[in-house]
Chain A
Amino acid sequence: MSGTTDTTTGGRPGVPSWLLAPAALGAAFVLLPLVAVVARVDWTDFGSLVTSEASRAALSLSLRTSLVSTLLCLLLGVPMAVVLARLRFPGQGVLRALVLLPLVLPPVVGGIALLYTFGRRGLLGETLEVLGVQVAFSTAAVVLAQTFVSLPFLVVSLEGSLRSGSERYEVVAATLGAGPTTVFRRVTLPLVLPGLFSGTVLAFARALGEFGATVTFAGSLQGTTRTLPLEIYLRRESDVDAAVALSLVLVVVAVVVIGVARPGRAAS
């Protein structure tokens, strides 16, 4: 991959050699725990541990809810990113900051917030109850929790792509007679496809790993709200081997996600 240029620290003016040790330490700090998980895996029983009934229920629930919440992220996040990137309106900066709040908000706080919005005594709870809908502690609650924490990933990623120069092409398309919908479909979306793709994959990965908001807002009922991260947390006490095996599954998923949606890959 590397070219003929020497990119080691040799003659790099901005990279003093004392910087290498902490950099290596940091890399080890991130990688070593992954190695530890792999080392701890009970390979002989791996198959049965991962395919036990509880494991399969959790895995299947996680995949289904993550797919639905990723879809919700696309349906809501793409319009949000376009509005934030292309329109100018008062309060836009504040709105952008608030929309990104779930990125830094502790997930358990997000779960509490969702509970007091959609829960039985929540802001919208009574209205929903009249309509015969009970959200809290249902699979729908899992999807809402995952969507809440994942949405900013898609919005941030896509808004960045939208701001990197596709607007000039949109102007040209309009002067060629293309209406806003045609411009969006034939010019904007194809040009931001790499950003949209990596944003979608990141949102999916975040949904798959969601724990705090889910356990607070949706609880932990097997087959209904107990997703893979919740299952791992519970098994950690009773069945360490199963917890480790399921952890490895999520590690592999994470590695694959990073592989296909490496940040910055779209730019090169």
Chain B
Amino acid sequence: MSAATGGALELVVDVPERDVRVELAVAPGETVALLGPNGAGKSTVLAVAAGLLRTGASRVVLDGQELTGATFVPPHRRRVALLAQEPLLFPHLDVLENVAFGPRSAGAGRAAARDRARHWLAELRVAELAGRRPAAISGGQAQRVAVARALAAEPGLLLLDEPMAALDVAVTPALRQTLARVLADRSVLVVTHDVLDALLLADRVVVLEGGRVTEQGRAADVLARPRSGFAASFAGLNLVAGTWRDGAVVGPGARLHGTVGDDAPAEGGEAVAVFRPSAVAVHDEPPGGSPRNALPVTVTEVEPLGDRVRVRAGELSADVTPHSAAALDLVPGSRVVFTVKATEVAVHAR
């Protein structure tokens, strides 16, 4: 099998009744992760790309071929495969016939289709399951078979809708590695809730909030320097958005000094300050004469996190030792001050 198998995708999703308006592109061979809270419109984007949802103003172009508009191309003629949370293997066919289904539908002979199916089962490391019924294999195995089945159809674009969300956490790391290998050089749009998926599978991430793209960029950049609240919480970071004034990000009830990177905000322009929960210290009252940034907050949640305690105050979090959590008598409702050194705060233009 040749390596590079991906089409270029141009997508305009416009579904007014769901308040979704998204434009995005996938370059040939690129994997794009679609992130966002529930109800942000991620599944709508996939449904439009697959041709399962048809709306007047949406536009899908794959490899220069217009799939929408006057000459609407139905799902089975798009070469767009969709893999859902659940494997949905056809229960009446054995594993080999499941994977051979795509090639058979494309007109391949029985023997040729089975050869192709065996190839992809081997690629997904599940060749030994060929003769089994879907009911007789585990969830992780079934999802591998489902990936093999999707790839055997030789799609120009592969859509993955939270492919590992329904699986046992014990099997996801191995499947993620396999996916990273077989998805390289393919055009893929993957919806995920997992930061590792975004980092290890995706070349680029697109963040969707409220039916709009709020942020996009290289996966590592977005996660290291998020500009949207969702991307920050997704990456496990604190984010304060505000206006850049006098060398500080001024937000509601907060004024943060920090380290400005290459993308320095303009005076009076929108800016974000990003910092790790572990860089935050918690105090009873503002420490006097300290160069630290101080944020008066009300604790909303206190929960154990490994050998630390995570203290949440609305959108912000601080990781402290159990000892200091006990010393400060932290409970939801406690009024405290979060402090963070300016050197720990990264400031970006938004």
| Chain A contact residues, CB within 8 Å of chain B | 168-169, 171-180, 182-183, 186-187, 190-191, 193
Contacts and interface: CB of A to CB of B under 8 A. Distances in A.
B88 A178 contact: no
Contacts of B91: 191
Interface stretch (B76-84, B135-143, B205-213, B271-279): B76-84
Most chain-B Cβ atoms within 10 A of its Cβ — which of A168, A174, A179, A193?
A174
Which 7 pairs between the two chains have the least Cβ-Cβ distance?
A178-B105, A176-B102, A174-B75, A175-B82, A190-B92, A177-B105, A176-B153
B90 A169 contact: yes
Contacts of A177: 76-77, 79, 102, 105-106, 153
B248 interface: no
Nearest to B81: A175
Contacts of B92: 190-191, 193
Interface string B60-93: 0000000000000011111111101000101110
Interface of A is mostly: helix
B101 interface: yes
A187 B150 CA distance: 16
B52 interface: yes
A183 B88 CA distance: 14
A175 B90 contact: no
A180 B76 CA distance: 8
Given A171-B52, A176-B150, 17 more contacts: A171-B82, A172-B88, A173-B90, A173-B101, A174-B75, A175-B50, A175-B75, A175-B82, A176-B149, A177-B76, A177-B77, A177-B106, A177-B153, A179-B76, A183-B76, A186-B101, A191-B91
A173 B78 CA distance: 13
A182 B105 contact: yes
A158 to B, nearest CB: 16
Interface string B124-158: 00000000000000000000000001100100000
Contacts of A176: 76, 81, 101-102, 105, 149-150, 153
12 contacts: A174-B75, A175-B75, A175-B78, A176-B76, A176-B150, A176-B153, A177-B76, A177-B106, A177-B153, A179-B77, A179-B105, A191-B91
A168 B88 contact: yes
A179 to B, nearest CB: 5
Interface residues on B, range: 20 to 34
A256 B41 CA distance: 53
A178 B76 contact: yes
Contacts of B79: 177
Most chain-A Cβ atoms within 10 A of its Cβ — which of B77, B78, B90?
B90
A262 B52 CA distance: 37
Contacts of A178: 76, 101-102, 105
Nearest to A182: B105
Nearest to B103: A177
Nearest to A173: B101
A179 B106 CA distance: 9
Most chain-B Cβ atoms within 10 A of its Cβ — which of A171, A172, A175?
A175
B144 to A, nearest CB: 16
B84 A174 contact: no
A180 B92 CA distance: 18
Most chain-B Cβ atoms within 10 A of its Cβ — which of A169, A176, A187, A190?
A176
Contacts of B80: 175
B102 A169 contact: no
A173 B146 CA distance: 12
Nearest to A190: B92
Contacts of A171: 52, 75, 82
Most chain-B Cβ atoms within 10 A of its Cβ — which of A172, A178, A183, A193?
A172
Given A179-B76, A186-B101, A169 B88 contact: yes
Given A182-B105, A186-B101, A175 B88 contact: no
Contacts of A193: 92
